[in-house]
Amino acid sequence: MKKFKIAFSLLMLGFLLTSCGVTYKKGEITQDLQALVKKECGLDSEAVVVGRTLYLDIIIDNLASNDVKIFPQIMHTIQTVNLSVVRVVLSSDSNIQYMVATAFDKNRILAFRVVQNIEDIKNYFYMRISRSDYESRNLVELVGSSLVPKIINDKHDITKDEFVGRLIASQINMMARTNPFYGTLIAQMQMYYIGIKDKELYLLVLGVVDSVVEPIIQDALQKNFENYVNKYTASFDVLKAINIEGKIIFNVSILNSKN
Protein backbone atom coordinates (compact mmCIF):
# COMPACT_ATOMS: atom_id res chain seq x y z
CA MET A 1 0.00 0.00 0.00
CA LYS A 2 2.86 2.38 0.80
CA LYS A 3 4.43 1.69 -2.61
CA PHE A 4 1.09 2.48 -4.23
CA LYS A 5 0.94 5.85 -2.48
CA ILE A 6 4.46 6.85 -3.48
CA ALA A 7 4.10 5.65 -7.05
CA PHE A 8 0.81 7.47 -7.40
CA SER A 9 2.32 10.71 -6.09
CA LEU A 10 5.23 10.60 -8.51
CA LEU A 11 3.07 9.68 -11.48
CA MET A 12 0.68 12.48 -10.64
CA LEU A 13 3.43 15.06 -10.37
CA GLY A 14 4.81 14.00 -13.75
CA PHE A 15 1.40 14.42 -15.30
CA LEU A 16 0.62 17.75 -13.72
CA LEU A 17 3.86 19.27 -14.94
CA THR A 18 2.72 18.72 -18.53
CA SER A 19 -0.93 19.63 -18.05
CA CYS A 20 -2.67 22.95 -18.54
CA GLY A 21 -5.80 24.57 -19.95
CA VAL A 22 -9.42 23.41 -20.28
CA THR A 23 -9.66 20.19 -22.26
CA TYR A 24 -12.82 18.68 -20.82
CA LYS A 25 -16.12 20.56 -20.62
CA LYS A 26 -18.18 20.43 -17.45
CA GLY A 27 -21.26 19.04 -19.19
CA GLU A 28 -19.32 16.24 -20.87
CA ILE A 29 -16.98 15.26 -18.06
CA THR A 30 -18.54 11.85 -17.35
CA GLN A 31 -18.56 10.75 -21.00
CA ASP A 32 -15.00 12.03 -21.51
CA LEU A 33 -13.77 10.23 -18.40
CA GLN A 34 -15.35 6.95 -19.48
CA ALA A 35 -13.75 7.31 -22.92
CA LEU A 36 -10.33 8.04 -21.40
CA VAL A 37 -10.50 5.02 -19.08
CA LYS A 38 -11.46 2.86 -22.05
CA LYS A 39 -8.51 4.20 -24.03
CA GLU A 40 -5.92 4.04 -21.24
CA CYS A 41 -7.01 0.83 -19.49
CA GLY A 42 -9.24 -0.99 -21.97
CA LEU A 43 -11.98 -1.09 -19.33
CA ASP A 44 -15.62 -0.09 -19.38
CA SER A 45 -16.59 2.25 -16.58
CA GLU A 46 -19.47 4.27 -15.24
CA ALA A 47 -18.99 7.90 -14.21
CA VAL A 48 -21.53 9.98 -12.31
CA VAL A 49 -21.42 13.50 -10.89
CA VAL A 50 -23.43 14.26 -7.75
CA GLY A 51 -23.10 17.89 -6.70
CA ARG A 52 -19.35 18.49 -6.50
CA THR A 53 -18.41 14.82 -6.21
CA LEU A 54 -17.33 12.71 -9.19
CA TYR A 55 -17.77 8.94 -8.96
CA LEU A 56 -16.13 6.40 -11.25
CA ASP A 57 -16.87 2.66 -11.01
CA ILE A 58 -14.87 -0.01 -12.82
CA ILE A 59 -14.93 -3.81 -12.80
CA ILE A 60 -11.60 -5.61 -12.51
CA ASP A 61 -12.24 -9.33 -12.93
CA ASN A 62 -9.25 -10.56 -10.91
CA LEU A 63 -9.50 -8.05 -8.07
CA ALA A 64 -10.53 -10.72 -5.55
CA SER A 65 -7.99 -13.28 -6.78
CA ASN A 66 -5.57 -14.97 -4.35
CA ASP A 67 -2.86 -15.03 -7.03
CA VAL A 68 -0.18 -12.64 -5.74
CA LYS A 69 1.52 -12.63 -9.14
CA ILE A 70 -1.24 -10.51 -10.67
CA PHE A 71 -1.32 -7.99 -7.82
CA PRO A 72 1.18 -5.57 -9.44
CA GLN A 73 -0.91 -5.48 -12.62
CA ILE A 74 -4.09 -4.82 -10.64
CA MET A 75 -2.44 -1.97 -8.74
CA HIS A 76 -1.09 -0.55 -12.01
CA THR A 77 -4.62 -0.55 -13.41
CA ILE A 78 -5.98 1.20 -10.33
CA GLN A 79 -3.20 3.81 -10.50
CA THR A 80 -3.94 4.45 -14.17
CA VAL A 81 -7.65 4.82 -13.49
CA ASN A 82 -7.01 7.30 -10.68
CA LEU A 83 -4.68 9.31 -12.88
CA SER A 84 -7.37 9.43 -15.54
CA VAL A 85 -9.82 10.84 -13.01
CA VAL A 86 -7.34 13.49 -11.86
CA ARG A 87 -6.42 14.35 -15.43
CA VAL A 88 -10.00 14.96 -16.48
CA VAL A 89 -10.95 16.97 -13.40
CA LEU A 90 -7.89 19.22 -13.41
CA SER A 91 -8.21 19.82 -17.15
CA SER A 92 -11.90 20.70 -16.98
CA ASP A 93 -13.98 23.76 -16.18
CA SER A 94 -15.96 21.82 -13.57
CA ASN A 95 -16.18 22.64 -9.87
CA ILE A 96 -15.52 19.06 -8.72
CA GLN A 97 -14.20 18.94 -5.16
CA TYR A 98 -14.03 15.20 -4.45
CA MET A 99 -13.15 12.30 -6.75
CA VAL A 100 -14.19 8.75 -5.88
CA ALA A 101 -12.79 5.82 -7.90
CA THR A 102 -14.11 2.37 -7.00
CA ALA A 103 -12.80 -0.89 -8.42
CA PHE A 104 -14.64 -4.13 -7.73
CA ASP A 105 -14.78 -7.66 -9.14
CA LYS A 106 -17.70 -8.89 -11.23
CA ASN A 107 -19.03 -11.03 -8.36
CA ARG A 108 -18.83 -8.08 -5.97
CA ILE A 109 -16.73 -9.95 -3.45
CA LEU A 110 -14.24 -7.15 -2.91
CA ALA A 111 -14.11 -3.40 -3.57
CA PHE A 112 -11.13 -1.04 -3.48
CA ARG A 113 -11.95 2.65 -3.29
CA VAL A 114 -9.79 5.79 -3.43
CA VAL A 115 -11.30 9.16 -2.47
CA GLN A 116 -9.34 12.31 -3.29
CA ASN A 117 -9.77 15.96 -2.40
CA ILE A 118 -8.90 18.20 -5.36
CA GLU A 119 -7.50 20.88 -3.04
CA ASP A 120 -4.98 18.40 -1.60
CA ILE A 121 -3.77 17.59 -5.11
CA LYS A 122 -3.41 21.27 -6.01
CA ASN A 123 -1.62 22.02 -2.76
CA TYR A 124 0.83 19.22 -3.40
CA PHE A 125 1.45 20.37 -6.95
CA TYR A 126 2.10 23.96 -5.84
CA MET A 127 4.36 22.67 -3.03
CA ARG A 128 2.17 24.03 -0.25
CA ILE A 129 2.31 20.60 1.38
CA SER A 130 5.02 17.94 1.39
CA ARG A 131 4.78 14.56 -0.32
CA SER A 132 4.45 12.78 3.02
CA ASP A 133 1.67 15.17 4.04
CA TYR A 134 -0.09 14.63 0.72
CA GLU A 135 0.19 10.85 1.05
CA SER A 136 -1.27 11.01 4.56
CA ARG A 137 -4.38 12.59 3.03
CA ASN A 138 -5.07 9.64 0.71
CA LEU A 139 -8.38 8.07 1.67
CA VAL A 140 -8.37 4.35 0.84
CA GLU A 141 -11.24 1.99 1.62
CA LEU A 142 -11.20 -1.78 1.18
CA VAL A 143 -14.48 -3.59 1.83
CA GLY A 144 -15.78 -7.14 1.57
CA SER A 145 -18.87 -8.65 -0.03
CA SER A 146 -21.37 -7.53 2.63
CA LEU A 147 -20.64 -3.84 1.96
CA VAL A 148 -19.72 -3.82 -1.75
CA PRO A 149 -23.29 -3.28 -3.04
CA LYS A 150 -23.84 -0.48 -0.52
CA ILE A 151 -20.80 1.56 -1.46
CA ILE A 152 -21.46 1.10 -5.17
CA ASN A 153 -25.08 2.24 -4.92
CA ASP A 154 -24.58 5.04 -2.38
CA LYS A 155 -23.56 8.02 -4.47
CA HIS A 156 -24.01 11.38 -2.78
CA ASP A 157 -22.25 14.73 -2.59
CA ILE A 158 -19.41 14.34 -0.10
CA THR A 159 -18.89 17.12 2.44
CA LYS A 160 -15.61 18.19 4.00
CA ASP A 161 -16.64 16.79 7.38
CA GLU A 162 -17.54 13.43 5.87
CA PHE A 163 -14.23 13.29 4.02
CA VAL A 164 -12.34 13.95 7.26
CA GLY A 165 -14.37 11.35 9.16
CA ARG A 166 -13.77 8.70 6.53
CA LEU A 167 -10.10 9.64 6.34
CA ILE A 168 -9.68 9.05 10.07
CA ALA A 169 -11.33 5.62 9.80
CA SER A 170 -9.18 4.83 6.76
CA GLN A 171 -5.96 5.69 8.59
CA ILE A 172 -6.85 3.36 11.48
CA ASN A 173 -7.72 0.53 9.09
CA MET A 174 -4.50 1.04 7.13
CA MET A 175 -2.45 0.52 10.30
CA ALA A 176 -3.11 -3.21 10.04
CA ARG A 177 -1.99 -3.31 6.40
CA THR A 178 1.13 -1.15 6.54
CA ASN A 179 2.63 -2.12 9.91
CA PRO A 180 3.35 -5.82 10.60
CA PHE A 181 3.16 -5.33 14.37
CA TYR A 182 -0.23 -3.64 14.25
CA GLY A 183 -1.34 -6.11 11.60
CA THR A 184 -0.88 -8.98 14.02
CA LEU A 185 -2.91 -7.25 16.73
CA ILE A 186 -5.73 -5.51 14.89
CA ALA A 187 -6.13 -7.53 11.69
CA GLN A 188 -9.63 -8.56 12.78
CA MET A 189 -10.83 -5.02 13.55
CA GLN A 190 -12.25 -2.50 11.06
CA MET A 191 -13.72 0.98 11.41
CA TYR A 192 -16.38 2.53 9.21
CA TYR A 193 -17.78 6.04 8.96
CA ILE A 194 -21.37 6.36 10.21
CA GLY A 195 -22.06 10.08 10.22
CA ILE A 196 -21.93 13.35 12.15
CA LYS A 197 -24.53 14.59 14.62
CA ASP A 198 -24.38 17.60 16.96
CA LYS A 199 -20.68 18.19 16.16
CA GLU A 200 -19.83 14.59 17.04
CA LEU A 201 -18.25 12.14 14.58
CA TYR A 202 -19.51 8.56 14.81
CA LEU A 203 -17.54 5.54 13.60
CA LEU A 204 -18.59 1.88 13.66
CA VAL A 205 -16.15 -0.66 15.12
CA LEU A 206 -16.38 -4.21 13.85
CA GLY A 207 -14.23 -7.11 15.04
CA VAL A 208 -12.17 -7.86 18.11
CA VAL A 209 -11.13 -5.09 20.53
CA ASP A 210 -9.43 -6.62 23.57
CA SER A 211 -7.42 -5.12 26.42
CA VAL A 212 -4.23 -5.21 24.33
CA VAL A 213 -5.71 -3.59 21.25
CA GLU A 214 -7.79 -0.94 23.05
CA PRO A 215 -4.99 1.42 24.20
CA ILE A 216 -3.26 1.19 20.81
CA ILE A 217 -6.40 2.20 18.94
CA GLN A 218 -7.29 4.85 21.54
CA ASP A 219 -3.90 6.52 21.07
CA ALA A 220 -4.05 6.25 17.27
CA LEU A 221 -7.56 7.71 17.18
CA GLN A 222 -6.55 10.63 19.38
CA LYS A 223 -3.56 11.48 17.19
CA ASN A 224 -5.39 11.07 13.89
CA PHE A 225 -8.46 12.92 15.13
CA GLU A 226 -6.47 15.97 16.23
CA ASN A 227 -4.31 15.87 13.12
CA TYR A 228 -7.09 15.81 10.53
CA VAL A 229 -9.58 18.01 12.36
CA ASN A 230 -6.91 20.71 12.52
CA LYS A 231 -5.69 20.19 8.94
CA TYR A 232 -9.14 20.55 7.43
CA THR A 233 -10.77 22.72 10.14
CA ALA A 234 -13.58 20.21 10.49
CA SER A 235 -16.69 21.33 12.36
CA PHE A 236 -16.85 18.40 14.81
CA ASP A 237 -14.76 18.21 17.99
CA VAL A 238 -15.72 14.82 19.42
CA LEU A 239 -15.27 11.30 18.04
CA LYS A 240 -17.29 8.34 19.28
CA ALA A 241 -16.59 4.86 17.97
CA ILE A 242 -19.39 2.41 18.73
CA ASN A 243 -19.86 -1.33 18.27
CA ILE A 244 -22.73 -3.07 16.50
CA GLU A 245 -24.81 -2.95 19.72
CA GLY A 246 -24.39 0.82 19.98
CA LYS A 247 -21.97 0.73 22.92
CA ILE A 248 -19.29 3.42 22.89
CA ILE A 249 -15.88 1.72 22.60
CA PHE A 250 -13.71 4.79 22.02
CA ASN A 251 -14.37 8.42 22.89
CA VAL A 252 -11.87 11.15 21.99
CA SER A 253 -11.97 14.90 21.60
CA ILE A 254 -9.76 17.89 20.88
CA LEU A 255 -10.35 19.03 24.45
CA ASN A 256 -8.71 15.88 25.82
CA SER A 257 -5.31 17.06 24.67
CA LYS A 258 -5.72 20.46 26.35
CA ASN A 259 -6.44 19.23 29.82
Do 118 and 150 lie in a common domain? yes
pLDDT at site 71: 84
pLDDT at site 212: 84
Do 124 and 201 lie in a common domain? no
Strand partners for 47: 56
Using the predicted structure, report yes or no on whether residue 10 has a pLDDT greater than 70: no
Do 147 and 175 lie in a common domain? no
The average pLDDT across 10-31 equals 69
Specify whether the backbone of 207 is left (phi greater than 0), alpha (psi in -120 to 50) or beta.
left
We report the CATH number of the domain holding residue 234 as 3.30.300.130
Do 56 and 138 lie in a common domain? yes
User: What is the SS3 assignment for 31?
Assistant: helix
Q: How many other CB atoms sit within 10 Å of the CB of residue 134?
A: 20
Q: How far is CA 141 from CA 27, 45, 116, 144, 169, in A?
A: 29, 19, 12, 10, 9
The average pLDDT across 213-240 equals 94
Helix or strand (DSSP H, E) at 65: none
pLDDT at site 258: 43
| Of the candidates 193, 204, 212, the residue with the CA atom closest to the CA atom of residue 245 | 204
**Domain region containing 108:** 1-157
Q: CA 69 to CA 46: how far, in whole Å?
A: 28
Q: Which of 157, 180, 203 is the last residue of a domain?
A: 157
DSSP designation for 10 = H
**E strands, 152-223, where?**
190-197, 200-206
pLDDT at site 13: 46
Instruction: Indicate the pTM of the whole model.
Output: 0.89
Q: How many domains does the chain divide into?
A: 2
Over the stretch 192-221, which tens digit does the pLDDT of each residue have? 999 999 999 999 999 888 888 899 899 999
The average pLDDT across 119-138 equals 90
Over the stretch 69-78, which tens digit does the pLDDT of each residue have? 888 888 889 9
* Gyration radius (Cα) of the chain, Å: 18
User: The sheet that has 238-242: what strands, in order across it?
Assistant: 190-197, 200-206, 238-242, 248-253
The pLDDT > 90 percentage for the chain reads 62
Q: Which of 121, 142, 157 is the last residue of a domain?
A: 157
Do 123 and 173 lie in a common domain? no
Instruction: Note the Cα 127 to chain centre separation in Å.
Output: 22
User: The sheet that has 98-104: what strands, in order across it?
Assistant: 45-50, 53-59, 98-104, 110-117, 139-144
Q: CA 191 to CA 82: how far, in whole Å?
A: 24
